[in-house]
Amino acid sequence: MVLLEVKGLTYSVRDKKPLSGLDLTVNEQEIHALLGANGAGKTTLANLIMGCGGYMPTAGEIRFQGQLITAMAIHERARLGITMAWQEPARFDGLSVGDYLSLGRAANTPADCLRRVGLEPAAYLGRALDKTLSGGERKRIELASLLALKPKLAILDEPDSGIDMLSLQEVVDVIKELQREGAAILLITHRQEIARIANRASLLCGGRLVMTDEPERVAERFRSRDCRTCDGETCHD
Amino acid sequence: MTEGLNNLLGELFSHYPDAAILTQPQTAHLVIDGQQMLSRQTIPGVDIRSQESAGVITIQITVARGIQVENPIHTCIGLMKPHGSQHIRLQVKLEAHTSAHIIAHCIFPNAEKVRHVMESRVELGEGAELRHSEGHYHGPYGGIEVIPQAEVRVGSHARYFSDFSLTSGRVGKLQLDYRVVVEKQGVAEITTRVYGHGTDEIRIRDELILEGEDARGLIKSRIAVEDEATSAVIGVTHGKAAGARGHMDCKEIVRDRAVASAEPIVRVEHPQAMVTHEAAVGTVDQKQLETLMAHGLTPDEAVDVVISGLLR
């Protein structure tokens, strides 16, 4: 059953169209990978779905569980069950990891969520969510916050960036765990080993969605084309 | 207990959950309302004296050589009346190889036209360590002028940590001026946290003089201003000796029509000294807000989380 439906989504900035006439669906409890070169529009799409500041579609609509959410504020979308983990998660002076994992309508305990991302609660619950954490630790805490929230749709913007190869499997395990707990995941990634866990994948190129299929086939097409110089109209014909 | 003492302690209990510690015999304390000393308690190794002369109360706190004071020393200084002035001279001396934590509660819940001057002189002997936490609890009227001034000398191998917090109630007018001299291998950290509302005026000047070899220091300012409040923060650090290391870190959040400024001044007088600074002055970070809103917090709730975190 369709959870998220994006229809004819266009986003223009001055004379440029970072996204153009984009259609995408994400089904309930589906992992949907979004592949594309740098600048293809993946993060822009994520920001539009989440409703981040400064991102308002110039055309098209976004529906969640059938409800039109295109003009909703972030927190209203969050209360419907959408959340997002940014590629570079924010850091906060004075806010502890434990406080952060208790924000909003947290469904799982902070300690349990930390354990599930491989962090020892005793060492992390009281730590400040500031620049004293490494990039990898911060990423894991962001994943833990998704486990705490138990969203219906989690948008993950490159959850694997800044994570070493040995920890990659743990990231995969957490994503699968989120899915098992009922979440659908829109997974933005460059890594095909991560995209492989998806049920479906889509390829974005030059602001257009050019293909949705099984992850292997989408990854194969991504590899075989020079997406970095593509305008999204010609190279994927 | 006198009525004045009851009133002041009652107010303290409403802000400070551990206030009952003042009544324990092993805790040194001093309670002053206006120009009147209401209660004083010394413990072995900690001498507390006070005297009033020509409208000025002089308080002397001395920790004898080698004494490690287990419980914090509490000073509760305030003015319960809506009008008046209070002038305190605080002289703190930690003799060599001592350690103490002074918690100062400054309580002005009804201030409509009040002036509070606190002139501190702090001296830390060799290897001494002092933590000085000063929390202000002001009322809603903004009619208070607070002038804390401190001259601090941190002896060799000594450590000084000060934390000034005025985040409860209206600030009124604050003119904070701290000057800390750090000798060889000494450490000083000065933290200031203030939340201004209405037409509050915040003026902060922290100066750190890293005089001795390998002296280290940090000036940390965390300010939030809203409505029409103004804030001007000046941080000055001098690196005067080999191995001296200083850093200034100022963050100010500005909302509504408030105005904030930060001015770091770095003066290095030795080629092997190093002083760095960073300042961020502006609105609440959009990414922080969006992250919190993606957890379901409203914009106002998200701003509260960011500001209370900054001032914590």
Tens of pLDDT, residues A1-56: 999 999 999 999 888 888 999 999 999 999 999 999 888 999 999 999 999 987 89
pLDDT for B263-297, tens place per residue? 999 999 999 999 999 999 999 999 999 999 999 99
| Partner-chain contact B285 A84, CB within 8 Å | no
Q: Check if B292 contacts A (Cβ < 8 Å).
A: yes
> What's the pLDDT score for residue B25?
87
> pLDDT band at residue A107, thresholds of 50, 70 and 90?
confident
* Contact residues for A204 (Cβ-Cβ < 8 A; gap 6+): A22, A34, A35, A36, A40, A41, A42, A45, A210, A232
pTM over 0.90: no
Closest by Cβ to A53, choosing from B286, B306, B308: B286
8 Å CB contact of B290 and A92: no
Candidates 3.40.50.300, 3.40.30.10, 3.50.50.60, 3.40.640.10; CATH matching A2-229:
3.40.50.300
Using the beta-carbon criterion (under 8 Å), do A103 and B296 form an inter-chain contact? yes
Residue of chain B nearest A84, judged by CA positions: B294
A105 CB neighbours in chain B (<8 A) are 296
Reported ipTM: the value is 0.93
User: In chain B, how many domains are there?
Assistant: 1
Is B309 within 8 Å of A94 when comparing Cβ atoms? Answer: yes
A237 pLDDT band, cuts 50/70/90, is very low
Q: Do B296 and A93 touch (CB under 8 A)?
A: no
CA distance A49 to chain B (A): 11
Arithmetic mean of pLDDT over chain B: 94
Supply the range of the domain harboring residue B39. Answer: 3-284
Minimum distance, in Å, between the CA of residue A46 and any CA atom of chain B: 12
B44 touches A: beta carbon within 8 Å: no
Asked if residue B294 is part of any domain, the answer here is: no
* Sheet containing strand B56-63, strands side by side: B46-53, B56-63, B83-94, B113-124, B144-154, B173-182, B201-210, B230-239, B259-268
Write out pLDDT tens, residues B225-266: 999 999 999 999 999 999 999 999 999 999 999 999 999 999
Residue A234 has pLDDT above 80, yes or no: no
A74, A84, A95, A157: best to mutate for the B interface, most B CBs within 10 A: A74
* Mean pLDDT value across residues A148-163: 91
For chain A, say whether B157 makes contact (Cβ under 8 Å).
Answer: no
In a domain, B308, yes or no: no
Predicted local distance difference test score (pLDDT) of residue B184: 98
Nearest-CB residue to A95 (from B289, B296, B305): B305
Q: Does any CB of chain A come closer than 8 Å to the CB of residue B299?
A: yes
Residue in chain B closest to A94 (alpha carbons) equals: B309
**Residue B311 included in any domain:** no
pLDDT, mean of residues A134-154? 93
Q: Give the whole-number percent of chain B exceeding pLDDT 90.
A: 88
**Does A104 sit within 8 Å of B296, measured CB to CB?**
yes
In this prediction, the residues of chain B whose per-residue pLDDT falls under 50 are: none
- Which residue in A78, A86, A149 is closest to B293 by CB distance? A78
* pLDDT per residue as tens digits for the range A156-205: 999 988 777 667 888 899 999 999 999 999 999 988 888 999 999 999 99
Determine, for residues B306 and A92 on separate chains, whether the beta-carbon distance falls below 8 Å: yes
Phi, psi of A168, deg, nearest 5 = -60, -40
Taking contacts as CB-CB distances below 8 angstroms, the residues of chain A near B294 are: 50, 74-75, 78, 82-84
Closest CA of chain A from B247, distance in Å: 16
Distance (Å) from the alpha carbon of B95 to chain A's nearest alpha carbon: 33
Contact B252, B220 (CB under 8 A): no
B304 to chain A, closest Cα gap in Å: 12
B191 token code pair: 């933290």
Q: How far is A92 from chain B (nearest CA, A)?
A: 7
The reply to whether residue B290 touches residue A52, judged by beta carbons under 8 angstroms, is: yes
Domain boundaries, chain A: 2-229
How high is the pLDDT of residue B95? 98
Q: Contact B293/A94, CB-based, under 8 Å?
A: no
Q: Residue B105 domain-assigned?
A: yes
- Structure letter (DSSP) for residue A43: H
Closest Cβ–Cβ partner in B286, B295, B310 for A78: B295
Looking at the domain assignment, is residue B298 inside a domain?
no
The alpha carbon of residue B2 is apart from the nearest alpha carbon of chain A, in Å, by 39
Q: Check if B247 contacts A (Cβ < 8 Å).
A: no
**A154 to chain B, closest Cα gap in Å:** 10
Chain A residues in contact with B296 by the CB 8 A cut-off are 75, 78-79, 103-105, 149
Residue among A236, A230, A233, A235 nearest A40 (CA): A230
